[in-house]
Each structure stands twice: as C-alpha cells, then as structure tokens.
Structure 1
C-alpha cells in the first residue's frame, strides 16, 4: 500500500512541479510580453516625439514664410512710397539725370546767346569807331 501511496504522492509532486514550472514559464512569457509592450510603447513615444519635432519644424517654416511674405509686403509698400514721393529710386535717378541735362543745355544756350550779344556789341562798337573815324575825316 505504501508503494501505491508513494507513487500517488510522487505523481502529485510531479504535477505540482509541472504547475510550478508551468507557472515559471508563464511568468517568463509574461515578462517577455511586458518587455515587448514596453519596447512598443517606447517606439510609439519616439514616433510621437518625431511628429512633434516635425510640427515644430513646419511651424518654423510657416513663420519663415510669413516673415518672407511680410518682408515682400514691406518691400512693396516701400516701392509704393517711393512712387508717391516721385517714382522709384531708378526712375527718380533718371529724372534727375534728365533735369541736369536740361539745365546744362539751357546753360549752353544762354552762353551762346551771351556770346552772340558780345559779338553784336563788338560789331556795333566797331561801327561806332568807324563812324567816328569818318566823322574825324570829314572834319
């Protein structure tokens, strides 16, 4: 009888061992699954950080575009102010050049006119001189 009991207790003992081993295996599998879940969570957090960085970069790009657009608008306003003041820089420069040229031309014309006047004056003076000489000869 004792042999039978021993066999039964051995069998039960084996079952318990198996249960324990099974429990060990389950615990091990559980740890592995938990590690895998942790890795997956870490990957997800990394993806989220990357998306956040991308949003920030996009925000920076957007701000840069706005700044560039603002600069462009500011340049356009500056051009508009220039036109109101008397044309754009180049246009105004051309106008100034034209004005200077006109002034030079007028000055040349005046100088020619003065030269003609002097010439006429010399001629008149010469005529008077000759007239006086004739007058003296008559006397």
Structure 2
C-alpha cells in the first residue's frame, strides 16, 4: 500500500508494511532524479535503525521487505512461549518431569531416574528460570532496540 499526500513542505508517503506503516517525507523542491540519503545517529539504537533503513530501502526498490526491523526470530519466539508455559506449569505445582512431558512430548521424556540426568530436565529448568526472569521484569529487554 502506498498513499501520497502533498503538503507545502513536500510529499508524505505512507508505505504499508507487514507490521504497520512507515512514513517518508520528500521535500517539495526535490528533483525526480535526486539522490537520497539517510542520516542515522550512531547511538545505542543504531543497529535497529540500520535494519529499519535496509527494510525501507528494499521497499523503495520494490523488493520483499524482509522481516520487520527488530522482530523476534521464530525460534526465539518459540523458546519464549515455552518458558512461559514452563512457568505456568511450575505455578500450578507441576513437577519438572510433568512440565517436560507437556512441552517436549511424553515420548521424549525418559521414565524413572533416567530423567534426573537427562538433558530435557536441564532444559526444562532453564526454561523455568528464564520464564521467571521474564515475569520479574526481564520482558522489558524484548521491548528495547
């Protein structure tokens, strides 16, 4: 989606993106063949801004824009969801074994004492720990660039 609105100072273009919209301003006196440039402050948000700029550039070229800037990867999103599910189980008084069976499937979790040294027990413990950290305010890290 591209919408253009003209104003005294130039043209505002609203470019449709998968996660919302981006607004660009082209000055009124800009020649059609003018070279454009972007000024990116080199601060803590610079990596996210550069990613957003590359995203915007691909849109201008008519290419696939790629994932939204700062988007969480599918594997990271899945792990965050598993961590929250693990905490839900823990708060419902489920054992690590029960949590592991729900998250990884009952066939993946060994019976008896074999679970005590199994990698899924350690992984479940890490998911619980990370989920508790998110609940305690760690989720804010997801919101920062």
Q: Which has the larger radius of gyration?
A: 1
State the TM-score, normalizing by the size of structure 1: 0.22
Identify, as 1 or 2, the structure richer in strand. 2
Q: Which has the higher helix share?
A: 1
- Flag the structure with more relative contact order, 1 or 2, with Cα contacts below 8 A and sequence separation at least 6: 2
